[in-house]
Amino acid sequence: MRSKAVIVVAPKKNEIELVQALGYKVILFKAEVGLDEAFMVDLPIEVDLNNEDLVVERLNEVSDRYDISGVFTLNEYRIPLAAKMSNHLGISSGLSVLAANQCRNKKLTRQVLNSKNVSSVQYELVCCEEEAKSKLSSFQLPVIVKPSNESGSKNVRFCRTDQEVVEAVRDILQQSRNFVGQPLDREVIVEEFLDGTEYSVEACTIKGETRIIAITEKFVTPFPYATEVGHTVPANLCKDNIQEISQLVKEGLLALEIDNGVTHTEVKLTSKGPKIIEVNGRPGGDDIPVLVRAVTGYDLCELSLHIALGGSFENAPWHEPVAPSASIRFLVADSSGTVFFKEDVNHDQLYRMEIYVEQGEEVAKTTSNYNRLGYFIVFGTEEKSSNQIADEVMEQINLHVLSSLQST
């Protein structure tokens, strides 16, 4: 009898452990397998994930040996590949290829949403600087310029002038490949700037029914950098706003034909109502799943696997919630210089803390989510919100950066 196995594609978090905890064999597909991973999984397969023909070839080799129950990834770049692999194996318990592509490629997300009149946003696709210049006349500045198929806010620019738009388009088009080496879409998105507080909606859709698991409030530094400096679950929103945002996300997911998956939808609450920024066919990053699990009892990563294996919401894994609110805060450098902070921080509600820099180290000003200095997670209590506790911990850490002039 063939063993039951799950294919894990380019894991980002604890995908392998989650699958093993359910007793399945793990077949790992990854561009470069580490020695630890090679030992850890049952069948490690090193393959160029950008070469889909080669992936299918390897898939055919293993599908004879194992009874494959699902294809699982939490890796944003590999969601469409996982969907294609599922499709090739005839597994229906995952995102469709169409839905995966419509989430992954932000150009397609906008096209579909606008065509179905859901969260319409003014946007144009441009292939060169000249085209950007000519199409700008229909916009009111500032605008956002972003690549169609990158991730993690890479190369997303806030542009106040025509010149900045032209430069942003040029910078994006200078690159031929995205972060994981896939060809970068040659159509760059120029879209209206949506002003308002940012939220993300953590949801799951199973057999056509979408449930909103949580709404996360996001704390972001002002433009041009817009670095995410914190998240809190649940978001501090009135009932009407919760209803409005939830309804919009449900409509958006339906429009994008998303089914059988966990989604992380970024939304801005503008003066004209909520608008969708982007939809991701996976749980949110930045440890949002840790916050959601603490507050709701649903582990979004676990839930993703459960859905990939054909599970229903009724029998979804659930844990006793441990806090009414939870927050993550990121430590950032507001200027370049020497960093100082208190290392031995104590607080009963501090769940986890990690600082990536050493005391007295030279650091660059934090300008993106990729050069933050560390983070901590706190859980709220009935008496005190996690936001208040996060402020207390931040005060204790007292991270400050002295410019070279100040520190001498």
Partner 1 sequence: MLEFNNKINSLFDSFFQEVVEAGSLGDREKLVAILTASILVEDQEALKNAVLAAKKIGFTNEELGHIHALAIAVVSQKLRNLGDFKAPQPNNQSKSKCCS
Provide the binding-site residues for partner 1, judged by CB under 8 A: 33-35, 38-39, 41-46
Which residue, 25 or 106, has its beta carbon nearer to partner 1?
Answer: 25
Which residue, 41 or 168, has its beta carbon nearer to partner 1?
Answer: 41
For residue 3, the SS3 value is strand
Q: Give the burial string for 112-131 (b: 16+ CB within 10 Å, else e).
A: bbeeeebbebebbbbeebeb
Which residue, 59 or 103, has its beta carbon nearer to partner 1?
Answer: 59
Residue tagged 């469409």 (tokens): 80
Which residue, 38 or 127, has its beta carbon nearer to partner 1?
Answer: 38
Pairing type for strands 3-9 and 66-72 reads parallel
Which residue, 46 or 187, has its beta carbon nearer to partner 1?
Answer: 46
- Whether 123 and 136 have beta carbons less than 8 Å apart is answered as no
Q: Give the burial string for 167-200 (b: 16+ CB within 10 Å, else e).
A: bbbeebbeeeebebebebbebbbbbbbbeebbbb
- Whether 334 and 366 have beta carbons less than 8 Å apart is answered as yes
Q: How far is the CB of 35 from partner 1 (least distance, A)?
A: 5
Q: How far is the CB of 31 from partner 1 (least distance, A)?
A: 13
Pairing type for strands 209-220 and 197-206 reads antiparallel
Which residue, 65 or 177, has its beta carbon nearer to partner 1?
Answer: 65
Q: How far is the CB of 34 from partner 1 (least distance, A)?
A: 8
Q: How far is the CB of 68 from partner 1 (least distance, A)?
A: 16
Q: How far is the CB of 28 from partner 1 (least distance, A)?
A: 10
CA-nearest of 399, 352, 355 to 378 is 352
Q: How far is the CB of 67 from partner 1 (least distance, A)?
A: 16
CA-nearest of 253, 286, 278 to 150 is 278
